[in-house]
């Protein structure tokens, strides 16, 4: 799984590097009638032909349409009213809990599971490693009673709502993740505020799953514009009529009012608004998106997502940049080696198929000896061949620098935390030192506390996270995770400085005590 996860991240990075933005334009018109305020309508058709995303490719085409629309006559062609319903999502599984906690609370998958474990051990939620969306009869009964008593009968379903799992790997061994009672987050006793927030999320999602749909009144307006060509412009809006499950589990929605107009009514043009756009590369994977992608491909289990993500970070194959995964140089190199020499191991379908084979073994439908023999025989043979074939020296780059200890040539080598300089006479000479490109990088931004420059550095040990600290360290210990060239740094308060000083002293004391032992 770690190899597949790394490949997904590297492949996405290669897509981003190869991406070339493409220009396109959209056009809106601001119109009004005698009674209403001006409102915007979007250009959708020209001469009865639907305009797709790239139908207006450049400014020249946009200018031609803009000029024609400025001289066109606008008439209300149709006004359609209707109702739209929004249904609640199923209660949480492990993966959907991790994804939603990431999006709503900013929790990593590891932190989410730590808090979930805490809640489970305190008897507040059901088992938190599950791929099932089933709910017990007991939970459906107490949910209905609570909702009708607290919010009224209109917020409780007559018949409980059930869900069907979508995951290819769902084993349905447990219930969905839900609270074990109707106790709200304010009623429970937990020390960690983070655990309380996660409980609130679980409670809201479960209760919402047993509440009616939210209902919206919708209106769609179509306007004809006749110039040298005939155009159709549209707008739509909706208004909340009944909040339903949104009462306990909020979701983003936009209420947009459509002015009171009648079919055949003439409208007056206020302005035409052409807008230039460029396509954007696919985004890097967040933890939530990576987990969802692995699940969609049928890779992994509820218990494996956290260790998979933790492992590729701990080995410094990937790092986080603004909350999204980016491969490190060593990660790209490892992935390249695996793809070239062990393509089967990093193949998405192969990994998913192996998961299915393991399911068959677990259910007694397949012999584990046969499956392991079919896999391990060819794999072991290929591994022995590659061990002899792959020469590790291709990862070294000899540089024009002599070792100051023995006079041999120095070379750039790859370690767990990236590139470094080492003597080619190793192991006879063990001289090694950091590469200049790994040294602190200047940012050109002044420290808000002492006026010296902030420099980009990396933390020590596992993870090697990028941070920005004062060049005057240790005399000034200001540091921030935010890029100061994008987010202006703010000086700490006196209390924050004191807390940081005490934390630093404790860390140094612990290090000194460990050294004495």
- Contacts (Cβ under 8 Å, ≥6 apart) of 429: 403, 405, 406, 408, 423
Residue 264, by phi and psi: left (phi above 0), alpha (psi -120 to 50) or beta? left
Helix, strand, coil: what percent of the chain each, to 5?
A: 35, 25, 40
Task: Give CA separation, 517 vs 359, 505, 509, 510, in Å.
Answer: 49, 19, 13, 11
User: Which pLDDT does position 393 carry in this prediction?
Assistant: 44
Any idea what the Cα angle at residue 128 is, between residues 125 and 134, rounded to 5°? 80
Task: Give CA separation, 339 vs 8, 32, 78, 379, in Å.
Answer: 12, 60, 57, 14
Residue 207 structure tokens:
């209760």
Give the length of the chain: 517
Residue 291 structure tokens:
């987990």
127 catalytic, yes or no?
yes
Task: Give CA separation, 472 vs 103, 450, 475, in Å.
Answer: 37, 8, 6
Phi, psi of 247, rounded to the nearest 5 degrees: -65, -30
Q: Which of 111, 116, 104, 178 is nearest to 141 (CA)?
A: 178
User: Which pLDDT does position 462 carry in this prediction?
Assistant: 52
Strand partners, 30: 40, 271
Q: Which of 378, 433, 434 is nearest to 405 (CA)?
A: 433
Contacts 24+ apart (CB under 8 A), 445-451: 445/484, 445/485, 445/489, 447/471, 447/472, 447/476, 447/478, 447/489, 448/478, 448/489, 448/490, 448/491, 449/476, 449/478, 449/491, 449/492, 450/475, 450/476, 450/478
Residue 221 structure tokens:
């307006």
Q: What is this structure's pTM?
A: 0.72
CB of 324 closer than 8 Å to CB of 285: yes
Phi, psi of 263, rounded to the nearest 5 degrees: -60, 135
* Helix, strand or coil, per DSSP, at residue 39: strand
Task: Give the pairing of strands 318-321 and 266-278.
Answer: unpaired
> Over the range 235-246, which residues count as b (16 or more CB within 10 Å of their CB) and which as e?
bebbeeeebbbb
Within 315-416, residue ranges assigned H as helices are: 329-341, 348-362, 368-389
Phi, psi of 194, rounded to the nearest 5 degrees: -60, -35
Q: Which of 253, 312, 250, 251 is nearest to 285 (CA)?
A: 312
Which of the residues 120, 127, 146, 473 is marked catalytic?
127
Q: Which of 138, 131, 144, 209 is nearest to 176 (CA)?
A: 131
Mean pLDDT per 10-residue interval, the chain, length 517 residues: 91 94 96 88 96 96 97 95 94 95 92 96 95 93 96 95 69 82 93 95 97 95 96 95 95 84 93 96 93 86 86 88 87 87 77 76 82 77 69 63 88 72 86 70 90 84 73 89 86 86 82 69
Q: What does the DSSP assignment read for 115-181?
A: HHHHHHHTTSBS-SS-------HHHHHHHHHHHHHHH-GGGS-SS--------TT----SPPB-BSS
Q: How many CB atoms lie within 10 A of CB 455?
A: 21
CB of 421 closer than 8 Å to CB of 434: yes
Strand partners, 267: 74
Q: Is the torsion defined by CA of 482, 109, 352, 6 positive or negative?
A: positive
């Amino acid at each position: 799984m770690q190899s597949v996860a790394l490949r997904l991240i590297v492949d996405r990075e290669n897509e981003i590097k190869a991406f070339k933005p493409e220009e396109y334009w959209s056009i809106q018109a601001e119109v009004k009638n005698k009674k209403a305020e001006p409102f915007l309508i979007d250009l959708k058709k020209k001469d009865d032909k639907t305009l797709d995303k790239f139908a207006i490719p450049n400014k020249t085409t946009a200018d031609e349409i803009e000029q024609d629309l400025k001289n066109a006559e606008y008439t209300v062609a149709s006004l359609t009213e209707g109702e739209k319903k929004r249904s609640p999502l199923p209660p949480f599984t492990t993966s959907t809990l991790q994804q939603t906690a990431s999006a709503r609370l900013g929790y990593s998958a590891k932190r989410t599971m730590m808090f979930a474990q805490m809640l489970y051990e305190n008897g507040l939620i059901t088992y938190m490693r599950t791929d099932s969306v089933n709910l017990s009869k007991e939970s459906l009964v107490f949910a209905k009673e609570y909702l009708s008593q607290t919010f009224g009968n209109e917020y409780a379903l007559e018949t409980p709502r059930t869900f069907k799992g979508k995951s290819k790997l769902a084993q349905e061994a447990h219930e969905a993740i839900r609270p074990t009672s109707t106790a709200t987050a304010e009623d429970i006793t937990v020390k960690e505020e983070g655990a309380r927030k996660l409980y609130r999320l679980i409670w809201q999602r479960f209760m919402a799953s047993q509440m009616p749909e939210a209902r919206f009144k919708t209106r769609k307006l179509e306007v004809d514009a006749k110039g040298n060509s005939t155009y159709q412009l549209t707008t739509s809006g909706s208004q909340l009529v009944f909040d339903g499950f949104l009462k306990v589990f909020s979701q983003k929605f936009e209420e947009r009012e459509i002015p009171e107009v009648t079919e055949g009514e003439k409208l007056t043009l206020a302005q035409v608004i052409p807008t230039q756009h460029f396509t954007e590369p696919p985004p890097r994977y967040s933890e939530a998106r990576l987990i969802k992608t692995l699940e969609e491909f049928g890779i992994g289990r509820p218990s494996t997502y956290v260790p998979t993500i933790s492992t590729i970070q701990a080995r410094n194959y990937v790092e986080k940049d603004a909350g999204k995964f980016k491969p490190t140089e060593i990660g790209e190199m490892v992935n390249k080696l695996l793809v070239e020499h062990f393509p089967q191991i990093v193949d998405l379908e192969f990994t998913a198929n192996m998961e299915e084979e393991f399911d068959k073994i677990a259910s007694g439908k397949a012999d584990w000896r046969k499956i392991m023999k079919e896999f391990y025989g060819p794999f072991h043979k290929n591994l022995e061949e590659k061990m002899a074939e792959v020469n590790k020296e291709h990862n070294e780059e000899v540089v024009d620098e002599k070792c100051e200890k023995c006079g041999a040539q120095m070379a750039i080598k790859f370690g767990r935390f990236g590139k470094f300089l080492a003597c080619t006479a190793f192991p006879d000479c063990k001289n090694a030192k950091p590469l200049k490109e790994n040294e602190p990088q200047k940012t050109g931004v002044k420290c808000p506390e002492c006026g010296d420059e902030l420099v980009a550095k990396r933390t020590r040990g596992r993870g090697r996270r990028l941070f920005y600290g004062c060049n005057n360290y240790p005399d000034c210990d200001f540091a921030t995770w935010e890029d100061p060239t994008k987010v202006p740094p703010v000086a700490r308060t006196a209390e924050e400085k004191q807390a940081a000083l005490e934390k630093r002293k404790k860390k140094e004391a612990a290090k000194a005590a460990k050294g004495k032992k």
